[in-house]
Structure 1
C-alpha cells in the first residue's frame, strides 16, 4: 500500500511538471500551508519529460489518495494488533467491527474533506465511500488466512513490541509528510531516519519471532492485557479521536481516549486479579502506581526533548518510552516480589 501511495506521488509530480509547468498552485490554493513540496530534481524531470500522455494522470491529484488512505490506515492498525496478539487481530479483522471502523474512519475523512472544500471534494467523497466497501473485504480476506498463535506477554517481548510500534509509527509519519501531503521533495531529508527506523523494525521483528514464550507476573500481565483491551476498544473510534485534536475538540478527544483506557482497565482488573488475595491486590496497586508515575515522567521528558514538526511524532516517542518504562517497572517489581515470597517460603 505504501508503494502504491508513492507511485501516485511520482505520477502526480509528472503531471504537475508536464501539464502545469511545475506550479502546484492550481490545487495548493485550496489547502493549508505545508503541502505540495515537489521533488523536481533531474531524475524526476527526466521521467516527466519522457512520460507519454501526462494529461491522463489528472486522477493522481487527490483522487487516488482518497482511495488508498483508508486501507493504509487500517492495515497499519491491523499490523500493530497482529504483532501484539495474532488471535486478537484475527478476531477483530474478521468481524463486523472492521466494517464499523471502515464506516467511522471514512466519515471522519469525509468531514475533513468537507472542511477543506475544493473542486475535488465531491469526487473524493465518492471515492472514499467506494474504498470503505473494498477495504473491509481485503482485511477479511487477510484475517481468514491467519492462524492463531500464543499470546506474547513477557518483558522482552513487550519491549520489542514497543520498539516495533515506534519504528512503524516513524515510517507512517514519513509517509504522511512526504506522500499524503504531497511533499515528495521532503523525502531526501527524511530518508536517513526512515532507513534507520526500517532497520530497527526488521531487527525487532526478527528478534521477536525467535524468542520463546516467557512468564509474566501480575503487574506485567495487567499491563499487557490492558493494552490488548485498549487496542480493541480504540479500533473503531481511533481516527475520530486523532482528528478531534486538530479540529477544535481536543478536550472531547482526550476525554474519549481516557474513557476507553478506563474501560480497558476495568475489564482487565476483572480478568487479571480475579481470585487474587487482598494483600497481593494492594501490592499490585503500588506496583501500578509506581510504574505509571515513572512512565509518565519518562514520557514527558521524551516529549520535551525535541521540538517536532508534527505533534504525532512527539506523542509517538513519548508513548513508546513511557510504555517501555511501565513494563520495565512492572517486570522488575514482579520479579522482586516473586523472589521475596520465595525467600519467605523457603524456611
Structure 2
C-alpha cells in the first residue's frame, strides 16, 4: 500500500466516523429560525466561479506572454488531461498583450485555484441543501462542528492529492489550502445562520424540482472542474451549451419548491432519506470520491453504503419503506440504463446522471404508490 493510498483510506475512515457522529447528532435537533438578511449561497457560488474563470483567463494570458504558450514546465508534474489552453483565442491574446508586469501573474498557475477550490465545492453543496430545504441548509451549514470537520476533511484530501502530484509549488499550495479552510468555515457558518427560509413540506413536485436542481448544480460543477480547475480553458467552447442549459434549469427551479401539497408516506420517506443523506455525506463526500481513485475503492464503496444505510434508519423512512423500496428499485434500474447508454470522460458525470435519474424515477414511483394508497402526513414531518 502506497503512502497516498494509506492517507486517503485513513481520511475516508476518519471522515465517515466524524460525519456519522456529528450528522446524526445534528439531525436530532429542531431547525431554529434564521437571523434574516442573508445572501443566498448561489450568489456567492457565482462570485467564486467568476473568480475561478478570471484566474483562468489571466493564467492563459500569462502562459502565452511569459512561457510562449508552452505548458511543459508544469504539465510534466501532472497526469494527462490538464492545461488544454485556448490557443488563438482573441480575448486571451488581447489580455496577454496588455498584461502589466506579466511575471507577477505566475501565481495564477495552481496557487490561486488552491484557495478557491474549497469555497467552490462547499458553496455548491450548500446550494443543493438550500434547494431541498432552507431550514436544512441553515441547520447543516450553520453547525460549526460539521462545517469545520468538512473543511478539514476536504483540505486533507486535497492536500494528499497535491502531495501525490507534488511539484515545485506543492508546499505553497498546501499552505494556501490551509488558509482557505480557516477562512471558509466561519464564512459559511455566518452565511447559513442568517438564512430566513422556512422548511418545506415533502411532496412529489418539490422532489422533482430538487432533482432538476441537483442535476443543474452538479453539471455546473463538472463543467468548472473540467474547464477551469484542470486548467482546460480550451474545452469551454465545447461545454458552454450544457452549462447554459444548467443555468436555465437553476433559474427555472428557483421558486419555492415545496409549494405543492404534502405527499403521502412514500414521498415523505424519500424526502427524509434525502435530508439525512445530504447531512451525513457532507463530511466524508470528498474523501469517498477520491477513495475510489487514490485509495481502496472497496473502503470508499463500503463507507458510502454505510452512510446510506444510516440515512435510511429513521421512523419516517420506515413508515413508507414499501413504496420507497419499490420506487427505489425502479430508480436504480433507470440509473443503470442512464449510465450504460452514455460514455463519459469523467465517472462523476455518469454518477450525477445516475443520481438524478434515480431520484426522478423513485419520486414518481413513490407518488404513484401514495395515490394508490393515500395517507397524507402533517406538514412538519421532515427529519
Query: Normalising by structure 2, what TM-score?
Result: 0.83
Match of 1:160 in 2: 209
Match of 1:345 in 2: none
Match of 1:344 in 2: none
2:162 is equivalent to residue 113 of structure 1: yes
- 1:127 Cα shift? 0.4
Structure-2 separation of matches of 1:272 and 1:200: 29
The one of 307, 331, 349 aligned to 1:260: 307
The one of 148, 168, 175 aligned to 1:99: 148
Structure-2 separation of matches of 1:195 and 1:271: 38
Q: 1:20 to 1:150 in 2, by over 3 A?
A: same
Q: How does 1:169-184 map to 2 (within 5 A)?
A: 169-184=218-233
- 1:285 Cα shift? 4.1
Match of 2:287 in 1: 240
Structure-2 separation of matches of 1:97 and 1:11: 35
Structure-2 separation of matches of 1:105 and 1:337: 44
2:92 is equivalent to residue 56 of structure 1: no
CA RMSD of aligned residues (A): 1.4
Structure-2 separation of matches of 1:330 and 1:271: 14
Q: Which runs of 5+ in 1 are unaligned?
A: 274-280, 340-347
Match of 1:313 in 2: 349
- For the pair shown, the structure with the greater C-alpha radius of gyration is 1
- 1:153 Cα shift? 1.4
2:254 is paired with a residue of what secondary structure? helix
Structure-1 separation of matches of 2:236 and 2:328: 37
- 1:310 Cα shift? 0.6
The one of 231, 247, 252 aligned to 1:203: 252
Match of 1:27 in 2: 74
Structure-2 separation of matches of 1:240 and 1:78: 18
Match of 2:325 in 1: 289
Q: 1:290 to 1:214 in 2, by over 3 A?
A: same
2:62 is equivalent to residue 5 of structure 1: no
Q: Hey, which bits of structure 1, 4+ residues long, moved more than 6 A?
A: none
2:365 is equivalent to residue 329 of structure 1: yes
Match of 1:185 in 2: 234
Determine if contact 1:152/1:158 at 8 Å carries over to the other structure.
no
2:167 is paired with a residue of what secondary structure? coil
Determine if contact 2:58/2:95 at 8 Å carries over to the other structure.
no
Match of 2:187 in 1: 138
Match of 1:278 in 2: none
> Cα deviation per residue 1:26-74 (whole Å; 9 max; x = unaligned)?
1011000010011131221122011111110011111100000000011
Match of 2:95 in 1: 47
2:340 is equivalent to residue 304 of structure 1: yes
Q: Which has the higher contact order (CA 8 A, sep 6+)?
A: 2
The one of 217, 222, 225 aligned to 2:272: 225
How many pairs are equivalent? 326
Structure-1 separation of matches of 2:52 and 2:201: 32
Structure-2 separation of matches of 1:57 and 1:78: 31
Structure-2 separation of matches of 1:150 and 1:229: 15
Q: 1:93 to 1:285 in 2, by over 3 A?
A: closer
Determine if contact 1:302/1:318 at 8 Å carries over to the other structure.
yes
1:70 is paired with a residue of what secondary structure? helix
Determine if contact 1:303/1:317 at 8 Å carries over to the other structure.
yes
Determine if contact 2:111/2:172 at 8 Å carries over to the other structure.
yes
